[in-house]
Chain A
Amino acid sequence: MTAPEIASGVAARARAWHLERRHLIVAGTILIAALIPIAAQSFVLFQLTMVMVYGLAILGLNILTGFNGQFSLGHSAFYGIGAYTAALMTHLWGVNYLLTLPAAGAVCFVIGFLFGLPALRLQNLYLALATFALAVAMPQILKFHGLEGLTGGVQGLVVDEPDPPSFLPMINADQWLYYLTLIVTIVMFVLAANLVRSRSGRAILAIRDNPIAASAMGINSALYKTLTFGLSALYTGIAGALGAFAVQFVAPDSFSFLLSVSFLVGLVIGGVGSIPGCLFGGLFVLYVPNIANSISTGLAGAVYGVILLAVIFIMPAGAAGFVRYVLARVTGAGRSSA
Chain B
Amino acid sequence: MELLISQIVSGLATGGVYACMALAIVMIYQAIDHLNFAQGEMAMFSTFIAWQLIQWGLPYWVAFAMSAAVSFAGGIVIERVLFKPLHNASILSNLVGFIALFSILNSSAGYIWDYTIKTFPTPFGHKPLFGGLVDTHAVGMISVTVVLLGLLYSFFRFTRLGLAMRAAAANPESSRLVGIRVGWMTALGWAMASAIGAVAGMMIAPVVFLEPNMMLGVLLYGFAGAVLGGLSSPAGAVIGGFMVGVMENLAGTFIPYVGRELKLTLALIMIVAVLMVRPSGIFGRRVVSRV
Q: In the complex, A145 Cα to B260 Cα: how many Å? A: 11
B89–A126 touching, CB < 8 Å:
no
Interface residues of A in 258-312 (CB under 8 A from B): 261, 264-265, 267-269, 272, 298-306, 308-309, 312
A183 within 8 A of B: no
Residues of A within 8 A of B (CB): 65, 118, 121-123, 125-126, 128-130, 132-133, 136-137, 140-141, 143-146, 212, 261, 264-265, 267-269, 272, 298-306, 308-309, 312-313, 316
A136–B227 touching, CB < 8 Å:
no
Which A residues lie within 8 Å of B107 (CB)? 298-305
B275–A126 touching, CB < 8 Å:
yes
Nearest chain B residue, comparing its CB with the CB of A272: B92
Contact partner of B108 (CB less than 8 A), chosen from A123, A133, A299, is A299
Q: A129-B224, A298-B111, A302-B111 are known contacts. Are A122 and B265 too (CB-CB below 8 A)?
A: no
Contact partner of A309 (CB less than 8 A), chosen from B100, B268, B271, is B100
Which B residues lie within 8 Å of A264 (CB)? 92, 95-96, 99
Q: In the complex, A127 Cα to B108 Cα: how many Å? A: 32
Sample of 7 further A-B pairs with CB below 8 A, known A126-B280, A137-B262 = A125-B35, A141-B265, A143-B261, A264-B95, A268-B93, A299-B107, A299-B108
B258 within 8 A of A: yes
In the complex, how many residues of chain B place their beta carbon closer than 8 angstroms to a beta carbon of chain A? 43
Which B residues lie within 8 Å of A312 (CB)? 86, 89, 93, 96-97, 100
Q: In the complex, A289 Cα to B107 Cα: how many Å? A: 13
Contact partner of A305 (CB less than 8 A), chosen from B103, B110, B261, B272, is B103
Nearest chain A residue, comparing its CB with the CB of B92: A268
Interface residues of B in 75-100 (CB under 8 A from A): 82, 85-86, 89-90, 92-93, 95-97, 99-100
Q: A144-B261, A268-B92 are known contacts. Are A121 and B103 too (CB-CB below 8 A)?
A: no
> What would 7 A/B residue contacts be, using CB atoms closer than 8 Å?
A128-B35, A212-B291, A264-B99, A302-B103, A305-B99, A308-B103, A316-B93
Contact partner of A137 (CB less than 8 A), chosen from B92, B268, B280, is B268
Which B residues lie within 8 Å of A300 (CB)? 107
B281 within 8 A of A: yes
Which A residues lie within 8 Å of B97 (CB)? 308-309, 312
User: How many A-B contacts are there with CB distance less than 8 Å?
Assistant: 124
* A131 CB, nearest partner CB in chain B, Å: 10
Which B residues lie within 8 Å of A306 (CB)? 100, 104
Residues of B within 8 A of A (CB): 35, 82, 85-86, 89-90, 92-93, 95-97, 99-104, 106-108, 110-111, 220, 223-224, 227, 231, 257-258, 261-262, 264-265, 268-269, 271-272, 275-276, 279-281, 291
B264–A302 touching, CB < 8 Å:
no
Q: A126-B227, A129-B275, A299-B111 are known contacts. Are A261 and B99 too (CB-CB below 8 A)?
A: yes
A65–B275 touching, CB < 8 Å:
no
Contact partner of B227 (CB less than 8 A), chosen from A121, A125, A302, is A125
Q: In the complex, A43 Cα to B64 Cα: how many Å? A: 51
- The dominant DSSP class at the A interface is helix
Nearest chain B residue, comparing its CB with the CB of A301: B107
> Which residue among A136, A264, A272, A302 has the maximum number of chain B CB atoms within 10 Å of its CB?
A302
B106–A137 touching, CB < 8 Å:
no
B104–A125 touching, CB < 8 Å:
no
Which B residues lie within 8 Å of A212 (CB)? 291
Q: In the complex, A298 Cα to B106 Cα: how many Å? A: 11
Nearest chain B residue, comparing its CB with the CB of A125: B35
Which A residues lie within 8 Å of B96 (CB)? 264-265, 268-269, 308, 312
Q: In the complex, A302 Cα to B100 Cα: how many Å? A: 8
Q: A126-B281, A316-B89 are known contacts. Are A136 and B220 too (CB-CB below 8 A)?
A: yes
* B102 CB, nearest partner CB in chain A, Å: 7
Q: In the complex, A176 Cα to B110 Cα: how many Å? A: 42
Q: A136-B268, A312-B93 are known contacts. Are A304 and B261 too (CB-CB below 8 A)?
A: no
A305–B95 touching, CB < 8 Å:
no
Contact partner of B92 (CB less than 8 A), chosen from A267, A303, A304, is A267
A308–B100 touching, CB < 8 Å:
yes
A302–B108 touching, CB < 8 Å:
yes
Q: A136-B268, A308-B99 are known contacts. Are A146 and B93 too (CB-CB below 8 A)?
A: no
| Top 6 A-B pairs, shortest CB-CB distance | A301-B107, A305-B104, A133-B268, A305-B103, A308-B100, A305-B100
Q: In the complex, A126 Cα to B97 Cα: how many Å? A: 20
Q: In the complex, A261 Cα to B261 Cα: how many Å? A: 24
Which B residues lie within 8 Å of A267 (CB)? 92
Which B residues lie within 8 Å of A122 (CB)? 275, 279
* A243 CB, nearest partner CB in chain B, Å: 22
B271–A133 touching, CB < 8 Å:
yes
A136–B99 touching, CB < 8 Å:
no
Q: A144-B262, A146-B258, A302-B103 are known contacts. Are A126 and B111 too (CB-CB below 8 A)?
A: no
Which A residues lie within 8 Å of B275 (CB)? 121-122, 126, 129-130
Which B residues lie within 8 Å of A136 (CB)? 220, 264-265, 268
B102–A305 touching, CB < 8 Å:
yes
